[in-house]
Amino acid sequence: MTRDKGLRPVFLAAVLAALLVVLCLLSIALGALNIPLDQVVRTLFGHPDSTRVENVIWSVRIPRTALGLAAGAALGLSGALMQALTRNPLADPGVLGVSAGASFAIVLSVAVLGVGSVLGYIWFAFAGALVASVLVYLLGGLGRSGQTPVKLALAGVAVTSLLTSLTSAIALTDPDALNRYRFWNAGSLADRDGGVVLQVLPFLIVGAVLALSSAPALNSLALGDDVAASLGRRLGLVRLQGVAAVTLLTGGAVVAIGPVVFVGLVVPHVARVLAQQAGIGPDHRWLLPLSAVLAPCLVLTADVIGRLVVRPSEIQAGVLVAFIGAPFFIALVRRRRLAEV
């Protein structure tokens, strides 16, 4: 790579990082109470203008922004990872059954145990996500010839559909469970206090480390199983690491903000186009971080707009993510010949 071309990825990264910082500041500043940006900055550096502003910023806006940032990045990363693992551009982070497992566990915990709060069912949801994902991994690898990407994806789809059926069955017979489920299902960053972020953050960090460190192996995997194996990659280990990362990332994000898995499907496509433009090509060492930065941009934008359009009420971020992300995505699909995975 020549020096001239080498500059462009750095420029791209700088632009995206700046965009993300601006969005974070906006997310802290805007809402039912608009706080001027200079006050936001002063409060962040420990010189608040009033205790009211300080309270709003530290106890509402910052946890919410942090949640959007963390969950968004997790969804972007796990989407890119999932598409690489299954070598299928249509795979989303929910393909391993993670979000269906979480949904099922939430409905079950409300219906059977009468759990009522987000903090109450977060552990059930996480357990459900984990169990579903392990089940898919084991089912996808049964037998002599072991896993192939197609089998893993199909096993995931089958388990997802099984769990979705059971979720609907419970939700149809238990109005309370349906009530909880439909609000969680729409996907939102609202009413999550700092506790939710802190509880899921360790999982997300471990997942992110696992994901980012598997990038070189994913590059080999893209060449096909045989080539990857002859390049010295231990396929089973790479897949195990990938599945573990997807489970932690998607599980953490989904229990915190709802099953907004579409973000993880669409963002890697955008990342691929950007990478192509910057002359990097489909290199997962770039694609994974790019997806991890683009996804929270989308989630935060949706959340901020959702707070502004129907003030003082809100539209769930999960809903607006679609209405912002989808037109952009469609325009992109129309404009460019998307790099096929």
Partner 1 sequence: MTPSPSVLTGSSRRTFRLAVPPVSGVLRPRLVAVCVTLAVGAFLVFCWGVAIGDYPVGLADVMKALAGSGDPGTLLVVRELRLPRAMVGLLAGVAFALSGALFQTMTRNPLASPDMIGIIEGAGTAVVAGIVLGWDGGLSTQALGLLGALATALLVYLLAWRRGTTGYRIILVGIGVAWMCTSATDFLMARGGRFQAQAALGWLVGNLNGRDWAQVGPLAVTMAALVPAALLLGRWMRTLQLGDDLATGLGTPVQRARLALLLVGVGLIAFATAAAGPVAFVALAAPQIAQRLAGTAWPPLVASGLTGALVVLSADLIARTLIPGTELPVGIVTGALGAPVLLWLLIRANRAGSGG
* First and final C-alpha spacing in the chain: 22
The C-alpha atoms of residue 111 and residue 104 are separated, in whole angstroms, by: 10
Site string for partner 1, 71-90 (x = CB under 8 A): -----------------x-x
- Beta carbon of residue 7, minimum distance to partner 1 (angstroms, whole number): 31
Torsion of Cα atoms, 205 then 206 then 207 then 212, to 10° = 90
Segment contacting partner 1 by CB under 8 A, of 4-12, 142-150, 196-204, 248-256: 142-150
**Which of 168, 194, 212, 229 contacts partner 1 by CB under 8 A?**
168
**Which of 51, 226, 232, 340 contacts partner 1 by CB under 8 A?**
340
Q: Report yes or no: 93 and 267 within 8 Å, Cβ to Cβ.
A: no
**Which of 171, 189, 217, 293 contacts partner 1 by CB under 8 A?**
171
Is residue 155 at the binding interface for partner 1, with CB under 8 A as the rule? yes
Q: Which residues are CB-neighbours of 337 under 8 A, at least 6 positions away?
A: none
CB closer to partner 1, 91 vs 105: 91
The DSSP-derived string for 112-175 is: II---SHHHHHHHHHHHHHHHHHHHHHHHT-SSS---HHHHHHHHHHHHHHHHHHHHHHHHH-H
CB closer to partner 1, 248 vs 320: 320
**Which of 187, 207, 242, 282 contacts partner 1 by CB under 8 A?**
187
- Beta carbon of residue 187, minimum distance to partner 1 (angstroms, whole number): 7
- Beta carbon of residue 89, minimum distance to partner 1 (angstroms, whole number): 8
User: In degrees, to the nearest 5, what angle opens at C-alpha 17 toward C-alphas 12 and 20?
Assistant: 130
The DSSP-derived string for 211-222 is: HHHTHHHHHHHT
**Interface contacts to partner 1, rule CB under 8 A:** 88, 90-91, 95, 139-140, 142-146, 148, 150-151, 153-155, 157-159, 161-162, 164-166, 168-169, 171-172, 175, 178-179, 182-183, 185-187, 262, 265-266, 269, 315-316, 318-323, 325-327, 329-330, 333-334, 338, 340
